Amino acid sequence: MIAYVTVGADDIPRAKQFYSAFLPALEYGLKEGPEGLSYALPVKPGQSPVFPDFYVKPTFNGRPASAGNGSMVAFEACSQKQVRDLHAAALAAGGSSEGQPGFRDSYGPHFYVGYLRDPQGNKIALFSSNQSEPGRDG
């Protein structure tokens, strides 16, 4: 099980603007500290933590943050509409598009996805594979 994912950012306020445009809609709560941003899913009393957490941090070595070539973090939305809405919100909050929301021929018929880059260049996917919605083939 993946417990957490961390991406680097040189401009934490700008990263906060970007990630706060869509992560709260996916139920992630934000805790801020001198070490950066920590987004986590809610935990009910008596329940174990729900993973993965998502962290946005300055680099530990003080050098500029860089996006990993081939790295991507994917967040699941509940519907195709939510993918479109959150993709648009993330673009308005400083992201750039790496692929408009839609179906992709190389994935399953219900996999609906939009791709983004955060202000630092980290690649993000927002997807839904809701079986109750129309699929790619109809």
Work out how many domains the chain is built from and give that number: 1
| 76-120: pLDDT as tens digits | 999 999 999 999 999 999 999 999 999 998 999 999 999 999 999
The answer as to whether 135 is a domain residue is no
Global pTM value: 0.93
| 49-74: pLDDT as tens digits | 889 999 999 999 999 999 999 999 99
What CATH number should be reported for the domain holding residue 58?
Answer: 3.10.180.10
Round to whole Å and give the CA distance between 31 and 35: 10
The answer as to whether 137 is a domain residue is no
The answer as to whether 133 is a domain residue is no
The answer as to whether 45 is a domain residue is yes
With a CB cutoff of 8 Å and minimum separation 6, the contacts of 116 are: 87, 90, 91, 95, 96, 97, 98, 123, 124, 125, 126
Q: Determine the structural domain holding residue 69 and report its residue range.
A: 4-128
The answer as to whether 18 is a domain residue is yes
